[in-house]
Structure formats: structure tokens, C-alpha cells
Amino acid sequence: MNFDEMLKRRQTTEIWQRYCGFLDLSVNEFMAIQNNLLLEQIDLYAKSALGKKIMGGKHPKSVEEFRRMVPLTDYEDYADILLTKDEDALPAKPVVWIETTWVGGKAPAKLAPYSQAMVKNYRDACLACIILASSTKKGEFNLHPGMNFLNGMAPLPYLTGLLPDVLVDEFSVNYFPPVKEGNKMGFSQRNKEGFRMGTEQGLDLFYGLSSVIVRMSEQFIEGGKSKSNLMHFTPKMLFKFARAKLNSRLRHVPVYPKDVFDLKGFVCIGTDTIHFKKKIEQYWGIKPLEVFGGTEPTCIGIESWTKEGLIFLPNICYYEFIPMSEFYQNLEDPSYQCKTYTLDQLEEDEYYELVITTFKGGAFARYRVGDIFKCEAGVKKSDGVRLPHFRYIDRIDPVIDLAGFTRITEETILEVIKLSHLHIHDWFARKCYDLEARPYINLCIELNHPQNDPGIDNAEVIKEQLEIYFKYIDQDYKNLHKMLGIEPLTITILPYGTIAKYQSTIKHRIGKVNPNHLDVVEIMKLAYGKGETDT
């Protein structure tokens, strides 16, 4: 019986149990599932060429042996097999290959194979997201077949594009825009078209990038031009719009999306979701559900009905966590093997880098995804879930992820500086947030003009020049302003030699991207005699 059938039969208890039952697990039960599935994966992995390569030809007999024998990995370790789509070398035959950009990698994109069982688990996770998004109380949710669904995410071969395919036989929804047409559109156009259709026919579910949702909401509130045709409006939506407009006129307040749309569920993803959630709730009148996923791990973290922290799914990946102390030790000495902890060993309020081993014939073993989480609480009082709740913090330090839109690395910035021909002697970059909690890059530079060339030393001009090349190198960079209204770059000019002087004091080099906060404070003090400075 599929999801639609179960909905029609009002089997709410069964639906909840099947898709959201993991929220009732204790930590011990969660770990039992994890350990059992890891043993299955080890068994599959050891028989494959990829597994032999990653595990050094060993066949661990227990979870402990596996964690002891297999080193931590990154995509470089898999590239030769996965980029050539060598299916014979994999632990299970893939049914689909998912793609994502590989920032700073040796190829433009990373590929990840998905086995049949992984796709099934991904489908169940998606349905769990939709159920929980429409839920405000344990065991209760508000879904029915034929709902209007604005899918604002990227199409295949990206992971988000797999959603319509996995739901097709389970949950019948009207996609805005329809999947076929949407796949032909660009990201911006797809969102606009989807929103237009939603405006005309009503919206029940919304799945999108939180930063984009906020921008679209703001444009709606500002009363931006819409291509909607009144003739296409359903009477219900027409009535709602008329009511909202009247109310707006009478009370001299803007029309919020919540005045028009009666949204049942809101699913949002993206690096800076935590900063956008409140706004989304304010605009739409519904708490958005944050999920965490990625090409390599698939969808692994979902919030409960209270929407107060991510909870990991037990049957998608085996989770290990690197504490920050170990992470920094490894950053200084790349040969250092970080010690990892399992979900039942975590400390509250600590930050961890996530390490995953995919289940069900997945390709990745002890893989550093590159994301940092904060372990918030063992038991959240509001939902009673006994599993740790997590807050997604950011990508690992060497990467600046802007609103889930683009990822800037040291290599990107070096390339930009090189192309710009600016006389930048030294630099570091860090991720900051503006007053409206929108993320941007603060690039701190030292200039070193040759004696016969006065050069440019105006921060605004330098910024404009660098942005030309940022837009040239990173296609998504230019959408940041256009789609999200974000000013993605600010420049801080440091006196020549500040960074070197500081480094000679502390006797080691600071990171180029997102250096330690204390280092930044000290450098600013050294440069301007205070902790922070205006650009």
C-alpha cells in the first residue's frame, strides 16, 4: 500500500509509525540499528573493489575494528572510481548517479552512486520530512493526495531533483511548476514560475532554499510585479487575495504571504537556514522544517514536529563525529588521524564535524562530509524525543558557504586575485552576517604597490574589480545579489605586513579562509588598535 492509499484510508497511526517512528527510539536502540547496518555495509563493502581500496584489503569483523582499521576519507580517495562511474567496483549496483559541484577539487563535479535500497530510504526520508513539516503535534499531520507543491530546488542530477521521481508512485502532488517544464528552467525562473502558479492556485507545501524563500517573500510583501493572470486564479485564491488586499488597505499594513496562503508544510534547506527560519515563520505563519542532506550522505537529518533541532535518521548512514579540538589538530597536521565519537558519546553544546559511512551499498566509508554541527541536547523537553538534537552550523572552516548558494574556497579567492592583477600582498577571508542575518564574505587584504605604480587603494573600487572575477569564476556568485539581494563581498584593507607580523608573533600561519576568530581579533587590534573595523 502506498502513501496515497494510506492517507485515503486515514491510517495516520501507521503512517506516523512507518515514517516518523524513528523519533521514538532511545539512543541505545538507535545505536543498535546503526551498528547492525554498518556490519551489513562492511560485508558488502569488503567484497567490492572500492571497499578493498578504501579498507586496504582488510575485512573488519566488528564496528570497532572498522573504525580502527579504516582511515578517514575525503572525495579524493574515491575520485578515480566514482568519476569514471566504474559500477563494477561498487558495493551495490547504482540506479542513479547524483552530482554536485566539487569546489577546489580536481574535477568540476563530484558524483555519488545511489543503490536501489538507498533510493528507497531517501524516499522514506522525504516523506518523513513532508509529514513532519505539516505536523505540530506528535502523531498528527495535515496531508492529503493532490496537494499543491512548490518545489524550488535544483533538478536532477542534483539530489533535490530526485524528489519528484521517488515520490511519483507514493504521494501524488501537483508540482509547481510541473516537473518536466521546471527541469527546462533555470533556478531563478523555476522559483518565480512556481510561486506564480502557487499564487493563482494556492499552495499547500513549499520546499526550497531558505535564503531564496526569504527573498521571494520579501518581494511579495513589497508588492513586486507579478506575471499572474487574474483569469487563472481559482475563486478561492481570488477571494483570499481580495480579502488580504482589503485588510491591507484598511489597516495600512503590507500583505504577507500568510494572509493569502494556507500552507500546510514548509521544508527548507541551506547553510544559513538557522538565520532565516524566524523570518520565514513571520512571513508565512508556519514554522519551517529544516532538513539536512547532501549528495554523499543523502537526506540524513530532519527536525521533529517542534522544529527545534535536527535529528539524524538511523538507517541512512553510520554517523561519527570529530570534536573541534581534534579537527584543529588535524588542520595543523594533516597526517594526524582524528579521533571520532559515535552518537551515543557526544557532549551537549559541543561542536563536531560529521563523518559518515553510507549504508545499503553506498560508496562512502568514514567520509568527512565537511559540515559542522552543534550537539544541542540529549532530550528536548518540548518534543520528548530521546535522541540528540543538532544545529547545523556551517561548512568546515576552509569553505565559505553563502546561503547554500555557492561555496568559496582559498583556491577560488587566489584565482580571483590572480586574475584581477591587483597588488594584493597577503589576505584572509571570513564569513560574516549583516544586520539582517544575511551572510557575506569579508576579504581582508594587504596591498603592496610597486614604487612606480600608485595602484588602487580604495576598498569599494577593489571590491568592484574583484567581483568581476568572482562572477566570472563562480556562476552562482552573480545570483547572490540578483536572487537573494545579498551584497556578498566587503573589503577590509590592512596595513602592509600586519598578517606577517602577527604570524611571526604566534609562530604559525593562520588559515586563509575563516581563520580562528581570536586570530582575527588580534590582527584587527594590531592593524587598528581595536578588535573589529569597518570596511
Partner 1 sequence: MIEKSLEIIYWGLPSLSFLLSLSILVILVLSKKDANIRTFMLMVISMLIWSFSSLMMKMSLFPGTLFWNRMMIAGLMFIPLTAYIFFRFFIGRRKWLPIIFWTIITFGMQILNAMGYTVLAAEMIKIPVAPYVELQYELGFAAYLSYVLIFVLLLTCLGIALKESKRSVTVKTGLKYVVSSLFIIFVGIGANLVPVIGKYPVDFFMGSIAAIFIMRALYSNRILELRFVITKALIFTLLFIGITVGSTLALNSLMNIYTNLNTDLNQKVLIIMATLLSLLIFQPLFKFLYTMVDRIFYKEEKLREDLINTFTGDIANNLNLTSITDGMMNIITQITGASRNFLFLKDRESGKFEFATSSVRLDRSDFSFEPNHAFVRWFDQSSDMIYGRDLDTHPFFKGMWDKDLTTLNEILFEVAVPMKSHNELIGIVLICHKDVRSVREVLHLEQVSLVCTTASIAISNALLYEQARHEAITDSLTATYNRRYFMEKLEQVTQSTKNSMALVLLGIDMFTVYNDIYGHTAGDTALLKVGEKIRRTTGESITVCRYAGDIFALIVPKMDTKQVYDLSEKIRTQIERTSVSTESEPDRFVTVSCGLCVFPTYASNENTLLKNANAALIEAKRSGRNKTIIYNNVVQDNPHKDFELDENQWATIYALTATIDAKDHVTFGHSQRVAKYATAIARAMGANEADIELIRQASLLHDIGKIGIPESVLTKTTRLTQDEYEIMKRHVDLSVTIIKYLPTFNKVIPSVIGHHERYDGNGYPRQLKGDNIPFGARCIALADAFDAITSDRHYKMNMTIDYALQEIRRNSGSQFDPKMADAFIRLIDAGQIIVEPTRSFTQADIESVNRPS
Residues forming contacts to partner 1 in the complex (CB under 8 A) are 8-10, 14, 17-18, 21-22, 24-25, 29, 32-37, 39-40, 117, 144, 314-315, 360
**Shortest Å distance, C-beta 126 to partner 1:** 16
Q: What is the DSSP letter of 514?
A: S
Shortest Å distance, C-beta 62 to partner 1: 11
Asked if 204 and 148 count as a contact pair (C-beta separation under 8 A), the reply is yes
**What's the min distance (Å) between Cβ of 25 and partner 1?**
5
Closer of 361 and 439 to partner 1 (Cβ): 361
Comparison of 22 and 175: residue with beta carbon closer to partner 1: 22
Give 25's contacts (C-beta < 8 A, 6+ positions apart): 33, 314, 386, 387
| Maximum alpha-carbon separation in the chain | 81
Angstrom distance (rounded) from CA 256 to CA 259? 5
Q: How far is the CB of 313 from partner 1 (least distance, A)?
A: 9
Q: Which is nearer to partner 1, 35 or 329 (CB)?
A: 35
Beta carbon of residue 165, minimum distance to partner 1 (angstroms, whole number): 21
Q: Specify the residue, 32 or 379, whose C-beta has the smaller distance to partner 1.
A: 32
Residue given cell 506575471 in the structure block: 227
Nearest 10 degrees: CA dihedral of 478, 483, 485, 488?
A: -30
CB closer to partner 1 out of 141 and 392: 141
Choose between 90 and 209: whose C-beta lies nearer to partner 1: 90
The answer to whether residues 93 and 86 touch, using CB atoms and an 8 Å cutoff, is no
- Alpha carbon distance 30, 387 (integer Å): 8
Q: Which amino acid is at 468?
A: I
CB of 31 to partner 1, least distance (A): 10
Beta strand 298-303 pairing with 310-312: antiparallel
Q: Give the residue with the Cβ less far from partner 1, 144 or 391.
A: 144
- Which residues have a Cβ under 8 Å from the Cβ of 17 and sit 6 or more positions away? none
- Alpha-carbon distance 186 to 155, whole Å? 9
458 phi, psi to nearest 5 deg: -100, 125
**Least distance CB 311 / partner 1 (angstroms):** 12
Q: 3-state SS string over 284-310?
A: HCCCCEEEEEECCCEEEEEECCCCCCE
Q: Rounded CA gap, 288 and 305, in Å? A: 10
Shortest Cβ distance from residue 269 to partner 1 (Å)? 23
Residue 339 identity (one-letter amino acid):
K
Closer residue to partner 1 in complex, CB, 67/360? 360
